[in-house]
Amino acid sequence: MLTKKWVKSVLVSVLALSLVIPAQVLGHDELGDINLEKGERTNFDDITAPILNGSKNLKFLHEVAAPEMEIVRADGLENSYADVYAHKGYAYVGTHTRNGGNGGVRVFDLKDPANPVEVSVFANNEFPLTWQEKVIVKSVNTPYFHGDLAVVSVQQLDRTHPDSKGGFLLYDVTNPVEPQKLGFWEVAKNTRGTHELYLTMQGNRALVLAASPYTDYYTHGEQRDFQIVDVSDPTNPETLWQFDPRILPEVDESFDGYYWDSPDGKVRPVFNHSTMADTTGNYAYVSMWDLGTIIFDIQDPENPKYLGRTEFASDQQGSAHSSTLANGGTVLIETREVYAPVRDGYEEAYGYTRIFDIKDKSNPKLLSEFKTDLTYDIPEENNVTFAKTVHDPKVRGNTLYLSYYAGGVISVDITDVSNPIEIARYTPESAYVWGVFVDQNYILASDMRSGLKVLLKNNSQNK
């Protein structure tokens, strides 16, 4: 088992290294005992990923488009790709860190889903050595803005660059062909920036829930990892509230902004990786790594109320990465991005999915765990890899869709949430699928190497 003293010594060396070399750490367990391994995915030609058997046809779905993502950067270098979102017939694809990032968000017209047409790029080249992974687009109606609003995460590859900034950008994409910049919300300069985020409405108020990992640590508590920001006026975002984990009864004053002396006797990492809200905008679900998924009542966003959280068995690495809801918001689905499956004191397993009953949000109850053949496929050497861990979850009806890196997209029947059953996989060539998005008319996936994939129902007219 790791000691706090040993882990802290690793942290010191990691931080010292990051001051000299622009660390390509991507908003994950950057400060832990795997040093800078987690998130260092900048050379995608050298990714070591298993060749997995799969199909381009999920049950009831088939791939209709995988457009060539042509280079759009002025320097001729290509970006890698990150998350994907859809709104009003357009796909929005974020970009990753390859070749120094600065790829922004690429917009595709999906009027003909079999032939996506790229119509614009935005949020690129705003700040040097930054990357724009996450984009959320929603229709917003406030006293200050009426239209379609995009919020885009901005993360720094080099915090020492004088012109670099982290936080999130806000764009008017009412006309997706001509996006217009509205504003920027900045997190402290000495942080990595905002990794993931979520946009929600409360009446005529627009809120962003921001996950800015390690902010609590880097700022010594002056700013926090989870912020609620009012963006009703997108030109003037206003921070309303920040979460201090010390408000929880199980987190005492020894918590230093990253390390938690867990009641199970382990020293566990705590940082905010991802956020989301339910359809009402009343409840927030915050992925706080080894503190689990924390549930807040945010009906009063200046004064949120802590309701409850998911917990882990003592032998489980936490790694609460992201979440989604099912069954009308009564079921929480939590994915755990465990990339280093062999650690003293823990089960030997890559990351898998957990499903909770949250009818009582103060007491989430574990219903089931969904694992695949990848979960325990652990080689004796070179077993630290993202390729076999689950990443992001999305739900449509009684089907759960999981992005699974080299596993592609895995679809799971959750009609019986106590007994999730894999029903099919979509595994494109050389798969490294980062994101999946469920739209009314299609399923979108984003591959880090090759970009956008479009899946349609088998009975669709677009074949």
Mind spelling out the 3-state secondary structure of 240-257? EEECCHHHCCCCCCCCCC
Residue 82's alpha-carbon distances to 153, 236, 349, 408, in angstroms, are: 11, 27, 25, 14
Look up residue 272 and give its amino acid: N
Indicate the pTM of the whole model.
Answer: 0.91
pLDDT recorded at residue 73: 80
Dump pLDDT digits (tens) for 301-321: 999 999 999 999 999 999 999
DSSP 13: H
Cβ atoms within 10 Å of 415's Cβ, excluding its own: 10
Burial class (CB in 10 A: 0-12, 13-18, 19+), 444: buried
Query: Can you list the alpha helix ranges (DSSP code H) found in 240-315?
Result: none
Cβ atoms within 10 Å of 45's Cβ, excluding its own: 6
**What does the alpha-carbon distance between residue 210 and residue 207 come to, in Å, rounded to a whole number?**
10
pLDDT recorded at residue 428: 85
pLDDT recorded at residue 462: 46
Where the chain has pLDDT below 70, the residues are 1-54, 459-463
Output the six-digit token pair for 333.
Answer: 């689905």
Q: Architecture of domain 52-457 in CATH?
A: 7 Propeller (2.130)
Look up residue 48 and give its amino acid: T
CA quadruple 313, 314, 315, 318: dihedral positive or negative?
positive
pLDDT recorded at residue 116: 97
Contact criterion met (CB below 8 Å) for 387 and 41: no
**What does the alpha-carbon distance between residue 296 and residue 284 come to, in Å, rounded to a whole number?**
5
